[in-house]
Amino acid sequence: MILVELASRFEELSSRLSEQYYCQYAGLTYDRELMKKLAQQLTEVSNEFLREFTEPRSMYLASIDTIAEAERLEVELDFHDKRMEKISSEKHHINGKKVNWGNWRQFNSQTDDAQKRKEVFDEFIAKAPRIAHLVERRMNTSKEVYKRYELTPLESYLELEQISFEDLLNLLMKLGDGAKETFLSAADHFAPQILKKNKTEYYDDFYTWRGRIFKPLNRYLEGRAPLDEICRFLGTLGFNISSINVDAEDRPNKSPSASCWGIRIPTDVRILYRKVSPFTNMRSIFHEFGHGIHGISANPDDSVWKRYIVPMSVAETFSMLIESVTENTLYLQEDLKLQETAVGEIVDRVRFMNLIFMTFYAANSIMKMEFWKNNYTTEEAAVRWEELTERFFIRTPGIYWILHHVMPNYDMYSPSYVIAATRVTTIKATLVQDYGEAWWRNPKAGELIKQLAQTRGEFNIKEWRLNPEPYLKEQKSLSFLE
Ligand SMILES: [Zn+2]
């Protein structure tokens, strides 16, 4: 088959497969057998590509990843089920059910008694080794597939992201080290109100904070329709988002976290979301519509690889850029017309979460980079992650990494959020400089964003410098520490 035919076959199969995943996340019926069949056919297409071609390079790397994904399918489904089953509390309940991996965050968000949260955390840490062998197998499968092509998942990742190991490590170190002290001081400030105790400790993880710290902000956004706000916001920027399909339906099996699906790019882009709480709804709607405009801005005449194979940090750049407006003082004051106290409180809390994010994801990302570089076992990875937590925040039992939803589930991914967040700071500086503080009211700013979005897999990564300083400086300015 010639390249264009192979690529369009790849597009066809990926579209059908992602539609099945979409249905799974939406809580609709989906066909497991069809998914397996499509994954198999995608493997065949990828194998054929790898036999016949070495270029385009992005397609080459994506083909290896597609094969690895298909070979991991069984163990990943197994991991998904066993994690729910084995990581479950004997003692604690939520809404009449045992606390398990799936409702753990909900439990932490609703439970004010810190001792109970600690007990569940310790119990889950003690049980984590029971699922470690599945993570080991998942990672080994990836390693073996990449090895056939004389690569590691890390090398492929760095190549797509166009960043060297040293530069990425350096960025992560600077952010993690730079955020640590301010994070710890701010955590002491918030602990009594949010954690109901005087000090933050190892079991108060990122998700416990996130599930609790935004609750008092809900009252400011009660009764607002986030979909109306995002339509207004993106409309002023010149985006016609009517082609983005939004599913806000509440179904029992629908995923609680919002997501955006480029089923066919640019013609079939869908957003799934389920109401959680007013503040979180606003943030996630803005985030997902960032992905949405990225998808619909693609040029339908571009090649399959240009439209579909986008570095993960580039994908997160658009979502994080749009989401960042919901923590912008001017937007909150003038567009959402919120009172000064409300604005101050929102900005402080979001920045605090960004600081935890930097410390936590510095540890997560560095561990994953070294995981592939040094050939760690899951246990060695746990030892290393524990050291990194001590360096960047608070020493936490290392096996926690197995319980995270990104670290054991992906080859890499973790650094992508950090790269994107840093890049967004650079893009925002340009927008402010060229179109003013309230750049989102200028359609010309929208044109720039649209142009950048249209580049998809050919996004000019080197054009936007990754400078940790401005990002750190902005997030470290908290009103109560001045
Ligand atoms: Zn995202």
User: Percent of the chain, pLDDT > 70?
Assistant: 100
Distance between CA atoms of 285 and 274, rounded to whole angstroms?
10
- What was the pLDDT predicted at 251? 86
- b/e map 455-476, b = 16+ CB within 10 Å: bbbebebeebebebeebbeebb
- What was the pLDDT predicted at 253? 80
DSSP 172-224: HHHHHHHHHHHHHHHHHHHHHHHTSSSS--TT--HHHHHHHHTGGGHHHHTT-
- What was the pLDDT predicted at 316? 97
Mean local confidence (pLDDT), 141-166: 98
How far is ligand 1, taken at its centre, from the CA of residue 31, in Å?
25
Contacts of 187 (CB under 8 A, 6+ apart): 200, 204, 352, 356
Distance between CA atoms of 429 and 441, rounded to whole angstroms?
16
For residue range 28-50, list pLDDT tens digits in order: 999 989 998 999 999 999 999 99
For residue range 215-267, list pLDDT tens digits in order: 999 999 998 999 999 999 999 999 999 999 999 998 878 877 889 999 999 99
Looking at the chain, the number of H-run helices and the number of E-run strands are 20, 5
How far is ligand 1, taken at its centre, from the CA of residue 299, in Å?
21
- What was the pLDDT predicted at 1? 74
Of 73-77, 175-179, 194-198, 330-334, the range with the lowest mean pLDDT is 73-77
- What was the pLDDT predicted at 447? 98
56 prior amide bond cis, ω within 30: yes
Q: Please, what sign has the CA dihedral across residues 136, 142, 148, 154?
A: negative
pLDDT above 90: residue 25: no
Mean local confidence (pLDDT), 453-457: 98
- 142 pLDDT band (50/70/90 cuts)? very high
- What was the pLDDT predicted at 55? 95
Residue 29, sorted as left (phi over 0), alpha (psi -120 to 50) or beta, turns out to be beta
- What was the pLDDT predicted at 204? 98
How far is ligand 1, taken at its centre, from the CA of residue 316, in Å?
5
Mean local confidence (pLDDT), 64-74: 93
C-alpha dihedral (330, 335, 338, 344), degrees to nearest 10: -20
Mean local confidence (pLDDT), 94-98: 91
What is the chain's mean pLDDT, rounded?
Answer: 95
How far is ligand 1, taken at its centre, from the CA of residue 324, in Å?
12
* CATH architecture group of domain 165-481: Orthogonal Bundle (1.10)
H or E stretch covering 78: helix 57-86
Distance between CA atoms of 198 and 39, rounded to whole angstroms?
51
Domain boundaries, the chain: 1-82, 165-481
- 336 pLDDT band (50/70/90 cuts)? very high
How far is ligand 1, taken at its centre, from the CA of residue 17, in Å?
20
For the record, the structure tokens of 323 come out as 């989401």
Distance between CA atoms of 480 and 482, rounded to whole angstroms?
6
For residue range 392-424, list pLDDT tens digits in order: 999 999 999 999 988 999 999 889 999 999 999
Distance between CA atoms of 340 and 354, rounded to whole angstroms?
21
Given a contact cutoff of 8 angstroms between Cβ atoms, the answer to whether 295 and 315 are in contact is no
How far is ligand 1, taken at its centre, from the CA of residue 322, in Å?
11
